[in-house]
Amino acid sequence: MTQTSKFCFVIHPVSLEDVTRYEPGAKGKGEPIIRKILDWMPAYAAVHVTGVRTPDGRETEGWFVAATLMPDQMIEFPREKVYDKILRAIEIGADMGAQVAGLGAFTGVVGDGGITVNERSPIPVTTGNSLTIASGIQSFFRGAHEMGIDPAHSTAVVLGATGSIGSACARLIAPRVKRLILVARNETRLRKFHESVGPELACTSDYTTDISSSVRRAQLVLTATSSTQDIIEPEDLQTGAVVCELSLPHDVSRRVASERPDVLVTEGGNMLVPGNPRFERVREPGQEFDLGLPPRTALACMSETMVLALENRCEPYTLGRGIDLSKVIEIDRMATRCGFSLADMRAFDVAITPEMIAATRAAADERRKAIA
């Protein structure tokens, strides 16, 4: 059997719920105390991952190593302090035998998108953004299909369009839609991005910093922001719209789940892991670590790191703000070869069943009749 490499992946809590999932002993403690503890805690090995096995018998193992900071702490703390915590997490993984490291959630966003971390790391680093983009685009158009939306006659919005994930998604979405609206917070950067890519996009396009107005004009919405707050509210969404979220924390208000039964929200970037993967807590051997995902499911950024280990491609595969679209295509093919596939649809931490999709379409039809 071919000898494969091992991996580590840097995780961190993106919500207070995550903190109690990582450390059940934190339950009941107040938020200020939890934040102080997270700031003080050193990085530690949280999860031992085994049983990731390709259809042709290749197998890898790895570790999820916790860099204990919340998203807003990652943004607000001095950059060197955040880098130190991330690098310590990678060093722990490398000491355990990892030969390639992945950066999860905001650890791949802070600073220059992994470039500095990779330069200082003892092993090659990837953000996992290439496979996140590939799986996100699949999820985006799967949602359109489920809601009976023809992309070729639709307006799509990309929120976070100047980011590494959003900019690549915009270029991949454009050939398949009628109109594309690019949205980001920094107007100067957004304008320059649109000026550079607009002539190449195979559809009508424009840009704005106004999230609400852009979402109101769209049937299809993809979010890839680094916001720590809800940015899509129920009143902003068109009847029967589809929202595909690639952001952590999530961008869509939970009010949408209760107030807009006619809208389909789906988490992009979740993948089924091949084999019989186990996520075992390092500190409590024999206990499963709750990823907050269904069995055999992992985030696409995690999956990219696993794929690189299985393929013995221990290299800084995806780094920085500019994504090479040829790498998106390549990692998608490698993931398929290794047996990874798009996970079932889910949103707001629950599975989306075929019956729920049918109900969403019916609610959209009823709302259209009521409006007419």
List the one residue out of 128, 127, 134, 96 whose CA is nearest residue 112. Answer: 127
Q: What is the pLDDT of residue 1?
A: 55
**Chunked mean pLDDT (size 10), the chain, 372 residues:** 88 83 75 85 95 97 94 90 95 98 89 92 96 95 96 96 92 96 95 92 94 96 84 92 85 90 92 96 90 90 97 96 92 97 89 93 93 74
> pLDDT digits over 258-287, tens only?
999 999 999 888 999 999 999 999 988 899
| Predicted TM-score of the model (pTM) | 0.91
Task: Count other C-beta atoms under 10 Å from residue 372's C-beta.
Answer: 5
Taking the C-alpha atoms of residue 252 and residue 348, their distance in angstroms, rounded to an integer, is 9
pLDDT at 319: 94
Task: Give pLDDT, residue 194.
Answer: 95
Residue 94, token pair as written in the block:
């490398």
Q: Give the pLDDT confidence score for residue 37 in this predicted structure.
A: 84
Closest CA to 55 of 337, 279, 298: 337
Strand-strand pairing, 350-351 and 346-347: antiparallel
Q: Using CA atoms, how far apart are residues 172 and 220, in angstroms rounded to an integer? A: 14
Q: CA separation (Å) from 86 to 69, 73, 81, 301, 302? A: 10, 13, 9, 16, 16
Say how far apart CA 49 and CA 306 lie, in whole Å.
10
Tokens of 128: 């996992």
Cβ contacts of 358 within 8 Å, gap of 6 or more: none
| Residue type at 333 in one-letter notation | R
CA distance 17 to 177: 37
Nearest-angstrom CA–CA distance, 300 and 269: 5
Structure confidence at residue 30 (pLDDT): 80
pLDDT at 366: 93
Going by C-beta distance under 8 Å and a sequence separation of 6 or more, which residues neighbour residue 296?
272, 273, 276, 277
Locate CATH 3.40.50.720 in the chain: 133-269+346-371
- Residue-level pLDDT at 29: 80
Name the class of domain 133-269+346-371: alpha beta
